[in-house]
Structure 1
Amino acid sequence: MGLTLLAAPASEPVTLADLKAHLRIDGDHEDTVLTTLAVVARATVERLSGRALIAQTWRWTFDRLPTGGRVALPIAPVIAVPSVRVAAADGTMVAVPGADMVLDLVGEPARLAFKGVPPHPGVPIAGIEVEILAGYGPDADAVPPQLVHAVRLLTAHWYAMRGDGAASTVPDDVAALIAGHRRPRLVA
């Protein structure tokens, strides 16, 4: 199983102007560093929380559907599933009609179920591709403020600690902000 980013977020949850105000930086001499750190901080908060912050498109590839034809989607929050494709015996990917699927966005994780007999891929590996649009929305307005602040604080921490070797750590206050939004992971 694998997740591949198809379309990155169109914006970041924390703007450059917000970061500069938070850090009390005037001028544009640190803009590139701050922008890069903010992107990495957002990706880190997403990885630690298991949540996409700003709308982004992912492709989830896996071998086959479990018995019953239901799968829990590996990323949250899910906005939509634009397409599902199943490999034919010759390896070509065939779209599954939307009418043959049901998307459950009520619970978490979001689930995708197939009506009737679930599609069976004609290849043994990576036979199913699910395109997932995930995130709280198209911009930072819908992102929980704790996660936005976690990105802001992590960016500021890494900016202050650059070159000191401590930039690889996540401060406790940032971890605490993320903890309340972390997706539970069930282990069998």
Structure 2
Amino acid sequence: MMLVEESQVPVVALPVAALREHLRLGSGFAGADLQDGLLEGHLRAAMAAIEGRIGKALIARAFRLELEDWRGVEQPLPLAPVVSVASVTLVDAAGEAVAVDAGRFRLVRDTHRPKLAGKGGALPVVPVEGRVEVVFEAGFGPDWAALPPDLAQAVLLLAAEFYERRHEVGDPVAALPGTVQALIARWRTVRVLGGGAG
């Protein structure tokens, strides 16, 4: 399995001004926005850390999932919440791609474990020594305002932590701060039965 981020979160969707305010950085002065690039980097890093912990895409964007075969009758998708499935493509061993008709699959929505399922039957057979590519959009919404408040606060707190520790050498922080862990706890996916197909 390989998951590829097809599109990046646009800068305008990031709460750079909110992080600047949270850090109580000066504003209204010439050059007050000189640190915006640094703040953007910390926001992206904080989002990536939290997305990795909770298995959710925060701001909506496109992803491509590549599989050698389906995992079962229904294929779990590695991120939530999934907004839509744009395409399913079968690729044979020679690299020839065939798009699967949208009438043959459907999205099974779920807050934590969305799935791709066959419509009126099984998912299409993946070619021998080939692969299947699923392009889908996942995220809570197109901009920062769409995030649940607890996740938005967790990102700001973690980005601020990264900013405050940016000059420290050695002894990196191994775990997320307790307040961040508390804020994201309800969004974490609980694995049952050893991560089985269910």
TM-score (norm 2): 0.85
Report which stretch shifted further, 23-32 or 92-101: 23-32
How far is 1:92 from its partner?
Answer: 1.0
Aligned to 2:178: 172
Does structure 1 retain, via aligned residues, the 8 Å contact 2:92–2:129?
no
SS of 1:174's partner is helix
Partner of 1:153: 157
Corresponding residue number in structure 2 for 1:65: 70
1:55 and 2:55 equivalent? no
Which residues of structure 2 form unaligned runs of 5+?
Answer: 27-31
DSSP-derived class of the 2:187 partner: coil
Q: Please, which moves more after superposition, 163-172 or 73-82?
A: 163-172
* Distance across 1 between alignment mates of 2:25 and 2:12: 19
1:96-115 paired onto structure 2 within 5 Å: 96-106=100-110, 108-115=112-119
Q: Deviations over 1:23-82 (max 9, x none)?
A: 1101223222111111111111111111000001111111112453x1111110000000
Aligned residues: 186
The match for 1:118 among 120, 123, 134 is: 123
Deviation at 1:13, TM superposition (A): 6.1
1:42 aligns with 2:56: no
Aligned 8 A contact 2:81 2:110 in 1: no
In 2: Cα distance, 1:148 partner to 1:12 partner: 15
Output the CA distance in 2 between the equivalents of 1:117 and 1:76. 22
Q: Which runs of 5+ in 1 are unaligned?
A: none
Aligned pair partner of 2:83 in 50, 60, 79: 79
Name the SS for the 2:62 alignment partner.
Answer: strand
Report if aligned partners of 2:82, 2:137 keep a CA contact under 8 Å in 1. Answer: yes
Tell me how far apart the structure 1 counterparts of residues 2 and 45 of structure 2 sit (CA, whole Å). 21
Residues 51 and 76, structure 1, Cα contact 8 Å, conserved in 2: yes
- 1:64 counterpart SS class: coil
Q: Which residue of 1 aligns with 2:36?
A: 31
Q: Determine if contact 2:90/2:99 at 8 Å carries over to the other structure.
A: yes
Give the residue type in structure 1 aligned to 2:61: Q
Contact 2:56 2:79 in 1 (8 A): yes
C-alpha distance in structure 1 between counterparts of 2:129 and 2:84, whole Å: 27
Whole-angstrom CA distance in 2 between matches of 1:61 and 1:113:
16
* Identity level (%): 35
Q: CA deviation at 1:114?
A: 1.4
What secondary structure, in the 3-state scheme, does the structure 1 residue paired with 2:43 have? helix
- Give the direction of change, closer, same or farther, for the CA distance of 1:67–1:11 in structure 2 (3 Å limit): same
